């Protein structure tokens, strides 16, 4: 009988918990309508996503290089502190249009973007290095599986509680069952999901304080400089076309899928789905985190990367075409297609990048990946905002639903135009069998 496998190192377990707590945003099921109910317009809301992306663009790669130079744990702790601050900014926002509301939500988006940038790359590099130091790097796919599955559990809980906390009718009914004469209105409940997320942020901070930095085979000297380390990581990506093409492909998938997920609650309203069921829908989406990791592991073992990317592209196109049709009820099936594609691309990208990059610049390379994704996401947000505004100006009086429906119709053709030049190279895409960091005098051959 084989001996039981030893437990994962404490820092890896805390990494899993941090990912769950950091992503357990109770307001996600009602994200779009929360901002709209506070008093923003759809155009302002879409513009806020661009503000969020700009914050990440400015901080993503420098934060990864700082993590590689001075320690990944410090950046993860800092990200938790920023998450607390961003929730406080949203809690203080007034529920009425005006300069104060705009100031609070812009501050929230900036803090959220910097927090995301600080955690991006640093947490994953810290966990992978801990496994590598223990001689267990081959267990990384299993760690990713645990992360996705526990994130799914967290998402289920936060989706159900968040959507329920936002619905005053549901809370009043529950109170009446307990013999309490509650008369809550939407004004009372709008910020309850935000308050719950603040508690999650505090728990994330307590979790990160117990992490420990793993010894690395090579630690960049402080004299190297943050910008020099960023340049070194950038050259590494450019000189390994497999990773460059993989990142660019992931950028296309991620930007379009995340854009839709950002406006998902408005889409659900459009197809006449009751708000009280948003949590259940979020639960169904989260359950994909249990099934998709097994599928992703199978695809990595049995299929070449190009074929896997083609499958993800097919799922994405089907999903985007389906949501554009705005079928009442049946539109949920196409959210499922987008969800599978979203989980697959993130699993595949993390697997290949962590296995291929040197420890000394792992967080920086992962931050370059995050930077590329968020630049594309911010650009997609701006384009979508422009499409909504164009539809509104062309059809005055038609209403916000008509403008949203018109804008959704552009997503699938724009995605095809973006991904097609990359897809032509997928049939020849092969992961290098041996990787070495290119030096300035002897760059690695382009594969």
Q: What is the pLDDT along the chain (447 residues), one digit of tens a residue?
A: 445 668 888 999 999 999 999 988 898 878 778 888 888 887 788 788 778 878 877 887 788 878 887 788 999 999 999 999 999 999 998 878 888 999 999 999 999 989 988 887 789 889 988 988 888 888 888 898 888 888 888 888 887 888 888 888 888 888 888 878 777 777 788 889 999 999 999 999 999 999 998 775 444 444 456 667 777 777 888 888 899 999 999 999 999 998 888 788 788 888 877 776 776 776 777 778 778 888 988 898 899 999 999 999 999 999 999 988 877 767 788 888 999 999 899 889 888 888 887 777 777 788 788 778 878 887 888 888 888 888 877 767 666 777 888 888 889 999 999 999 999 999 888 877 644 343 333 333 333
Token pair belonging to 49: 């996503």
The domain covering 15-214+227-428 belongs, at the CATH homologous superfamily level, to: MFS general substrate transporter like domains (1.20.1250.20)
DSSP code of residue 222: G
| Rounded-to-integer distance, Cα 57 and Cα 125, Å | 19
| Rounded-to-integer distance, Cα 78 and Cα 74, Å | 6
pLDDT in the model for residue 424 = 93
CA distances from 366 to 137, 243, 359, 427 (A): 17, 11, 11, 25
pLDDT in the model for residue 263 = 81
Helix (H, G, I), strand (E, B) or coil at 272: coil
pLDDT in the model for residue 444 = 37
pLDDT in the model for residue 4 = 61
Helix (H) or strand (E) holding 119: helix 99-119
pLDDT in the model for residue 388 = 83
Token pair belonging to 422: 């990359």
Helix (H, G, I), strand (E, B) or coil at 135: coil
Token pair belonging to 444: 């690695």
pLDDT in the model for residue 278 = 73
| Rounded-to-integer distance, Cα 108 and Cα 103, Å | 9
| Rounded-to-integer distance, Cα 78 and Cα 105, Å | 20
φ, ψ at 291 (rounded to 5°): -90, -40
DSSP code of residue 433: S
| Rounded-to-integer distance, Cα 257 and Cα 288, Å | 15
Decide if 162 contacts 27 (C-beta within 8 A): yes
pLDDT in the model for residue 325 = 87
pLDDT in the model for residue 246 = 92
Tally of residues, the chain: 447
Residues in contact with 231: Cβ distance below 8 Å, sequence separation at least 6, in sequence order: none
Would you list the domain boundaries of the chain? 15-214+227-428
**61, 66, 67, 73 alpha-carbon torsion, rounded to 10°:** -130
Neighbours of 434 (CB within 10 A): 4
pLDDT in the model for residue 247 = 92
pLDDT in the model for residue 279 = 65
CA distances from 284 to 152, 153, 156, 290, 409 (A): 9, 11, 8, 11, 25
């Amino acid at each position: 009988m084989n001996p039981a496998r030893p437990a994962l190192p404490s820092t890896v377990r805390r990494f899993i918990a941090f990912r769950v707590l950091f992503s357990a945003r109770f307001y996600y099921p009602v994200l779009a309508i929360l901002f709209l109910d506070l008093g923003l317009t759809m155009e302002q809301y879409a513009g806020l996503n661009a503000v969020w992306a700009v914050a990440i663009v400015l901080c993503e790669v420098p934060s990864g290089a700082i993590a590689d130079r001075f320690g990944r744990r410090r950046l993860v702790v800092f990200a938790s502190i920023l998450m607390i601050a961003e929730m406080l900014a949203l809690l203080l926002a007034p529920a009425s249009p005006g300069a104060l509301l705009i100031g609070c939500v812009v501050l929230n988006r900036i803090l959220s973007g910097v927090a995301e940038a600080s955690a991006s790359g640093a947490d994953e590099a810290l966990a992978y290095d801990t496994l590598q130091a223990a001689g267990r790097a081959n267990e990384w796919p299993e760690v990713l599986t645990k992360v996705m599955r526990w994130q799914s559990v967290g998402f289920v809980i936060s989706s159900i509680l968040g959507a329920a906390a936002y619905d005053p009718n549901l809370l009043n009914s529950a109170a009446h069952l307990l013999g309490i004469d509650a008369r809550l209105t939407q004004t009372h409940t709008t910020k309850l999901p935000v308050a719950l997320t603040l508690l999650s942020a505090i728990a994330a901070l307590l979790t990160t304080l117990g992490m420990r930095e793993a010894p690395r085979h090579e630690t960049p000297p402080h004299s190297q400089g943050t910008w020099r380390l960023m340049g070194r990581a950038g050259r590494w990506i450019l000189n390994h076309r497999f990773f460059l093409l993989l990142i660019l492909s992931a950028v296309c998938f991620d930007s379009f899928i995340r854009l839709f997920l950002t406006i998902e609650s408005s889409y659900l309203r459009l197809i006449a789905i009751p708000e009280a069921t948003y949590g259940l829908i979020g639960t169904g989406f989260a359950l994909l985190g249990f099934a998709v990791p097994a599928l992703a592991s199978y695809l990595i073992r049995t299929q070449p990367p190009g074929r896997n990317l083609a499958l993800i592209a097919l799922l994405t196109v089907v999903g985007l075409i389906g949501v554009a049709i705005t079928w009442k009820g049946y539109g949920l099936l196409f959210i499922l297609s987008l969800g599978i594609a979203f989980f697959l691309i993130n699993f595949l990208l993390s697997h290949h990048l962590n296995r291929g990059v040197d420890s000394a610049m792992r967080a920086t390379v992962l931050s370059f990946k995050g930077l590329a994704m968020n630049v594309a996401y911010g650009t997609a947000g701006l384009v979508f905002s422009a499409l909504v505004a164009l539809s509104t100006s062309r059809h005055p009086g038609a209403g916000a639903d008509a403008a949203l429906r018109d804008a959704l119709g552009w997503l699938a053709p724009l995605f095809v135009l973006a991904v097609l030049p990359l897809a032509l190279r997928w049939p020849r895409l092969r992961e290098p069998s041996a990787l070495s960091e290119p030096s300035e005098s002897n760059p690695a051959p382009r594969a």
